[in-house]
Structure 1
Amino acid sequence: MGAPDGERLGPYHLLSTLGAGGFGEVHLALDPEGRTVAVKILHPHVAADATALARLAREVETMRLVQGPHVAEVLDASLEGAHPYLVTRYVQGRPLSAVVAADGPVGGGDLVRLARGLAEALAAVHAAGVVHRDLKPANVILTDGGPVVIDFGIACALDSASVTVSGAVLGTPGYLAPEVLEGTGAGEEADLFSFGATLAYAATGRHPYGMGPPSAVGYRVVHHDPDLEGVPGWLEPLLQECLRRDPPARPSAAELLDRLGAAGPAVHAVIPRSRPPSSAATEVHDAAGARELGTREPGRARESVRAQEAAGTRGATGAQEAARAHRATLAREAADVQDTALHEAVAGGTVQELSTREWRPGRRPAPGRPSAEEARERRRAVLHRRWVIGTGLLVSLAAATAREPLPEVSLLLLTTYGLATLVDGGIALFARRNRSRAVVDLACGAGAVALWAVLGTFFSTLTLALALGTVVFVLVAILMAS
């Protein structure tokens, strides 16, 4: 068990528990300068292995050399005492495993950024001479700035007999390279295998070697091919190379990063930025159709290309007709993939050229739809009617209640309301903007006097007082509630 929250562990003040893994329990903490850090307290069975701790102590200084925006740097470590711990940069985000489980596979531009970020992280780790050994979706944190890899080097440093027996290293065999499962060693190539498996899970939402008992999954890793169905075409060849059983046949992290940098523009070329905005949607449609025809029906795609070449030999008029026919064919064939292409383009941030109609002063609104100024005037008129009518009802009831005991007050209320409506109606008539407002004011003034006379004639003062008190109570309750 780690130290409980609220206590101090060395110079660090533990705030809350973030989670637990195969090697330890992670706490959010404050360093002596008040900055947030992540403190990983090693599990007792790990802390009890002197050989593993000695190896980790030797590796910590090397691990502290790893720097980069996509790695959680090791800041400090204390491997002595009752609670050995490591301190890393605190990364605020969600694990890739939780994101895929909740939101589904990662696609479009998000997948490109994830692939590049993981490749950059492995390149930084390997450049420092460190092997991650435990790269998996749970050790990839997705943040606003891209993916961040955590726990690099810990699994490799803590690989010893007692720790392995506890199951800490073989926690997720579907993401460990075959040579790791067979016990023949783990180098940088093992991280590339884990990279391919992690990215395959992100792109498809499925574990590339399935689920089940660890022994069954490990057997499939060693003897079967991964499940890459649903991986985008630009990414599948890279993952196939990374998931090769022969370690030397896998690319290095630097080679992978170079290839991803070259593949990125092809992914984002769904909408060419050099084309005018008016043709952007058409280019998305045509590009999606061409891609779908080229991948699913290469024969039909070749026929379309041959049709274009033949059209070019028949002159300008014939070429235009053939081009129109070709675009119509592509549109029909690509109808089922247009939505997918648009989604990928939006996710990749490549639909910036699509123009939208912006409202500008003087532009006419759509037919049958009022302008913003007209809508505001209608709203003002509704509020005015409600205020004048409601005030008239309240004044009439109050004046009728005071008619017998306080006739002067009754007359004052009616006179004040009548003058207010006359002034407001006169302003509306003088401005010549809203004659209906003047009509409403005059009608309400006359109606208030008529209602005062009716209420005072047919109801007693006590009844009117009770009604007035009820109305006032309701109004106060409404005001307080609002």
Structure 2
Amino acid sequence: MSTTDRLGPYHLLSRLGAGGFGEVHLALDREGHTVAVKVLHPHVAADEAALARLAREVETMRRVRGPHLAEVLDAELTGPRPYLVTRYVQGRSLGAVLAEGGALRGDDLTRLARGLAEALAAIHAAGVVHRDLKPANVIIADGEPYVIDFGIACALDSASVTASGAVLGTPGYLAPEVLEGGEASFAADVFAFGATMAYASSGRQPYGTGPPPAVAYRVVHHEPDLAEVPSWLAALLADCLRRDPAARPAAAELCARLGTAAPVVQIPAQRRRRDASPEPPTQALRARSREDAGAVADPRVRHRDTVRRRWVAGSGIVSGLVAAAVHRYLPDMSLLVLAAYGVGVLGDAAAGVVARARSRVVFDLVSAGATVGLYAALIAFFSPLTLLLALGTVLFVLLLVTFAG
């Protein structure tokens, strides 16, 4: 694929991978935000019934929000190359992490369990069944888990798609009732959570490995292997992996038992029926996606914003201290320091205006005002000698921090 390939308003940069339903590409939207674009495979795109069902479900999927989810931002399902757009999370799949480093322990395992439970609770609160939760559909970024591809398998469930090669679920993570031809439900997702966490916490597949039919047989007829699962987690996973779906805990109960809060999602009182919902207007989806893309930026963007905020606040404190320390001896330099800081902050605020980042502008203006206030308070309450000593101490600490690395 050419590096200049475009799909609608999206500039496709590189191929990230492929799954049962499509190829995933790293892309840029109109505002330059990174997103993940899933282009459906031709055999999937040819199934009009499956696409119509997916189009009806996209609006519901867009309501699913949470800190551990790769949210659906946009969709175009009527052209020659139907696609979905989701938040891009830069990281590695849980499957790859476990294959390379083995079982998780300590804080890493706790964060995974709580994050997946919160994600599942948010998905279920919106009335969506993931249906294909497994290590390959969990991305680990900065130590935190993010669930991807929720609702797609359920929406694209059709005989023609399945016959064309898409696997609706993975043996070992599919619940017994689904393997026996039953409906995928919230309880089936809880089973998949249990199997995923059992693998992550022990490094061993709870139903063993081998040909898919053999694994599926063990899921239906055998008990899971939880021998290597830490004791604090084993009882919960045993409940999740019960054969009777009614005996499994709900996602909200998982959150409670793991000591985290289940998210609250507002759902319209009259939820549209799956078999009678009109297709959501694609243009409306795109208009909202531009707001969502900025609100759910990938980890690199969040890190850059954190560093920028710390720099603005830290340089404001130092500038206020320097200006106050030299106020009596070099009044012109005092004003110059404050002016230089003000120009820098106003420049950053102007960039925030261009990017329509209101919080950035507000933070910059508040920082500028706080710096002036700090300057005034210091010269009012402290002697020049005290301020010079404080400035010297701060500069010494900064030098130590700078050269310590």
Fold-level similarity (TM above 0.5): yes
- Structure-2 change in CA distance of 1:164 and 1:4 (3 Å): farther
Are the aligned partners of 2:153 and 2:168 in contact in 1 as well (CA < 8 Å)?
no
Between the aligned residues of both structures, percent identity stands at 77
Q: 1:179 aligns with which of 174, 177, 188?
A: 177
Q: Does 1:150 align with 2:148?
A: yes
Q: 2:204 aligns with which of 184, 193, 206?
A: 206
Are the aligned partners of 1:201 and 1:208 in contact in 2 as well (CA < 8 Å)?
yes
**What is the distance in 1 between the residues matched to 2:170 and 2:133?**
10
Are the aligned partners of 1:91 and 1:141 in contact in 2 as well (CA < 8 Å)?
yes
Q: 1:409-420 to 2 correspondence within 5 Å?
A: none
Tell me the alpha carbon deviations over residues 187-240 of structure 1, each in whole angstroms, 9 at most, x when there is no partner: 100100000000011011111111111111111111111111110001000000
Q: 1:273-352 to 2 correspondence within 5 Å?
A: none
Q: 2:128 aligns with which of 119, 127, 130?
A: 130
**What is the distance in 2 between the residues matched to 1:168 and 1:188?**
22
Larger gyration radius, structure 1 or structure 2: 1
Q: CA deviation at 1:70?
A: 0.2
1:252 corresponds to: 250
Task: Flag as ranges the 4+ runs of structure 1 deviating above 6 A.
Answer: none
2:27 corresponds to: 29
Q: CA deviation at 1:4?
A: 5.0
Are the aligned partners of 1:134 and 1:169 in contact in 2 as well (CA < 8 Å)?
no
Q: 1:4-403 to 2 correspondence within 5 Å?
A: 4-144=2-142, 146-261=144-259
Amino acid at match of 1:236: A
Are the aligned partners of 1:96 and 1:138 in contact in 2 as well (CA < 8 Å)?
yes
**What is the distance in 2 between the residues matched to 1:29 and 1:262?**
34
**What is the distance in 2 between the residues matched to 1:6 and 1:179?**
46
- Structure-2 change in CA distance of 1:170 and 1:57 (3 Å): closer
Counterpart secondary structure, 1:173: coil
Are the aligned partners of 2:139 and 2:147 in contact in 1 as well (CA < 8 Å)?
yes
**What is the distance in 1 between the residues matched to 2:56 and 2:154?**
12
Superposition RMSD in Å: 1.4
**What is the distance in 1 between the residues matched to 2:129 and 2:170?**
17
Tell me the alpha carbon deviations over residues 249-292 of structure 1, each in whole angstroms, 9 at most, x when there is no partner: 000000010000089xxxxxxxxxxxxxxxxxxxxxxxxxxxxx
Amino acid at match of 1:205: G
Are the aligned partners of 2:131 and 2:169 in contact in 1 as well (CA < 8 Å)?
no
Q: CA deviation at 1:21?
A: 0.6
Indicate the structure whose relative CO is greater, using CA pairs within 8 Å and at least 6 residues apart.
2
List alignment gaps of at least 5 residues for structure 2.
262-405
Q: CA deviation at 1:165?
A: 2.4
**What is the distance in 1 between the residues matched to 2:209 and 2:165?**
17
Counterpart secondary structure, 1:174: coil
Tell me the alpha carbon deviations over residues 419-467 of structure 1, each in whole angstroms, 9 at most, x when there is no partner: xxxxxxxxxxxxxxxxxxxxxxxxxxxxxxxxxxxxxxxxxxxxxxxxx
Amino acid at match of 1:16: S
**What is the distance in 2 between the residues matched to 1:33 and 1:17?**
20
Q: CA deviation at 1:109?
A: 1.2
**What is the distance in 1 between the residues matched to 2:24 and 2:260?**
38
**What is the distance in 2 between the residues matched to 1:217 and 1:227?**
12
Are the aligned partners of 2:157 and 2:168 in contact in 1 as well (CA < 8 Å)?
no
List alignment gaps of at least 5 residues for structure 1.
264-482
Q: CA deviation at 1:167?
A: 4.1
- Structure-2 change in CA distance of 1:166 and 1:216 (3 Å): farther
Are the aligned partners of 1:104 and 1:205 in contact in 2 as well (CA < 8 Å)?
yes
Counterpart secondary structure, 2:232: coil
1:467 corresponds to: none
Counterpart secondary structure, 1:235: helix
Amino acid at match of 1:99: V
Q: CA deviation at 1:180?
A: 1.4
Provide TM-score, normalisation by structure 2: 0.63
Tell me the alpha carbon deviations over residues 8-33 of structure 1, each in whole angstroms, 9 at most, x when there is no partner: 00000000000001111000000011
Q: CA deviation at 1:163?
A: 1.7
Are the aligned partners of 1:159 and 1:169 in contact in 2 as well (CA < 8 Å)?
no
- Structure-2 change in CA distance of 1:191 and 1:62 (3 Å): same
**What is the distance in 2 between the residues matched to 1:176 and 1:9?**
34
Amino acid at match of 2:116: L
Amino acid at match of 2:151: G
**What is the distance in 2 between the residues matched to 1:131 and 1:50?**
21
- Structure-2 change in CA distance of 1:195 and 1:127 (3 Å): same
Amino acid at match of 1:178: P
**What is the distance in 1 between the residues matched to 2:227 and 2:2?**
45
Amino acid at match of 2:14: S
Are the aligned partners of 1:22 and 1:171 in contact in 2 as well (CA < 8 Å)?
no
**What is the distance in 1 between the residues matched to 2:148 and 2:44?**
18
Q: CA deviation at 1:184?
A: 1.1
**What is the distance in 2 between the residues matched to 1:34 and 1:72?**
18
Are the aligned partners of 1:6 and 1:16 in contact in 2 as well (CA < 8 Å)?
no
Counterpart secondary structure, 1:229: coil
Tell me the alpha carbon deviations over residues 71-127 of structure 1, each in whole angstroms, 9 at most, x when there is no partner: 000000000111100000000111000000001111111101100000000000001
Counterpart secondary structure, 2:73: strand
Amino acid at match of 1:249: A
